[in-house]
Structure 1
Amino acid sequence: MSSTSSETGPATATAPVVPRHAASVLLLREQDGAVEVLLTRRHENMSFMGGMWVFPGGTLCPADLASASIATIPEPAQLKCHRLLDLDGVALPATTCLGLAVAAIRETFEETGVLLATTADGEHCGVEELARLHERRRAIVSQPELFATSLQEERLHLDVRRLLYWSHWITPSTVPKRFDTRFFLASLPPEQIASVDAIEATEMTWMTPAALIAAAHDGTMTVSRPTLYNVMELDASVRQHVSLDAIMRAEAQREAPPVLPKVVKGEQRMIVMPWDADYPMFAGSGVSQGMSYPQRLRTLPSRTSER
């Protein structure tokens, strides 16, 4: 789903792999009156989504759930953190919800250098603090527990309020590497500049959603379905609300039902979305038949084919 660095093991013949929790961020900016989203291109040699254009993100790791990491989120913000649901509509533990917010911000920092954090008095992270954290960026990639330590040393707090819960995608049950990914929107903090990490990613670009959709369709950029569908939703929001501030206000309380596609194999490999009328007829793990999807999702393609 997202640009994960950890991977699941192979599926057994009797049961699908249990997907790992992950978080990904659609980082947005407004440039010359146009809303743009940041994408990074994964290294060709990566076993998962090698060479594909993705949003910053990765798997939830134990360090994200540690008390030191949770403590970097101010208590008032902890109480207002997104309460996420699992595939069956059951609320996830509060610690898991907070850990996913930590993972989203940590992975965004590791891969882009952008830090969603503030000082104790609510001011944006300063240039000097950010520069010192950038010196540890590579170390944090291999030792994620250093992220909380570094924030504490700089007396910074994670600004989870900048994360707008956007969507929830689960890898199909027939795929050997599976992720249960929460996607968030976040606006680029003032005076910060994104820079590629050169470890997992080799390139980086800001694009309007419309330009990315066109590049995906004409084959000049390779993206996954979750990436494409999330950008299609973003494009619709941009066309409706125009400005970044208006988008963030309008989408603050949006529904994010789980999207668990099914893979149907035949002469052509077909991907079927849960809002497809025939979805329950196809084999594989799926969402509850009682799950409802908003019109914005039901206007997107319900099935696509691959050779």
Structure 2
Amino acid sequence: MRVFVTGASGWIGSAVVPELIDAGHRVVGLARSEASAAALTAAGADVVRGTVDDLGVLRDTAAASDGVIHLAFKHDIAFTGDFQGAAEADRRAVDAFGDVLAGTHRPLVIASGVAGLTTGRVTTERDMPTIDGSPTSIRATTSQAALALAARGVRASVVRLSPTCHGEGDHGFLATLVATARAHGVSGYLGDGTNRWPAVHRLDAARLFRLALDKAPAGSVLHGVAEEGVTIRDIAEVIGRHLDVPVTSVDPADAAGHFSWLSGFLALDVTASHTLTSELLDWRPTHPGLLEDLDKGHYFTAPAA
């Protein structure tokens, strides 16, 4: 299968590409820079130059492909205050793919997240997002629009990822927590630290995207969740042990000053399961869990970039 992958050189995409190639697929990756193009070529993928805003490129490449995995998201502007702009660009891209793939019954797999779907209970694949008009709900409407493409003859599925997709080379949430602990000389958590994050190793997540491409039925919601919830205090304790710094509670009133942009995410209490996903696709996470991965030490070999 010729597979078009956006975000192919990103954190998840750079694991999805070799997963697809090892399974016998030919990959065409979207690259917005020379460095991304070089990385994709080195991984054995073909390259098309462009960004998620180049809708003509997206349409043409999708039309010439047997399936699409859409991972690109404008995190650079999302984390600097324009989440709405990033979410709107994502929606335009998914709509462009839907127009091209309608009636072909080819697969379209998009990435989303499990955070914020429910409170007070374990989130399952049957839970749907609340659409309330907020900027963050725009991305939820995109996942709903993707699922609705099943009625237009697209084998569309949504992979909802854990807040923490960990592994060696990660520069996301966990790496930011490590960098924050270094900077402040303490490994912090909010309140009593009992709030939780689901987690998945990026290599397990990559395998799930490949399985979704290969065989997920149209309209499937899948959970890239290996662990239902790991407490933030447990995470802080591993970080404190490796950095040899105290582990301490941070008053929620001081969260923004201590954790910066990460403070809102640290306040979340999210649990999610992958039971239905495993039953549907026989997906069984096999790589280290979050705390075990942290204990391997690679998050602490150098300051996070």
Q: TM-score of the superposition, structure 2-length normalised?
A: 0.29
Higher relative contact order (CA 8 A, sep 6+): 1
Instruction: Give the TM-score, by structure 1 length.
Output: 0.29
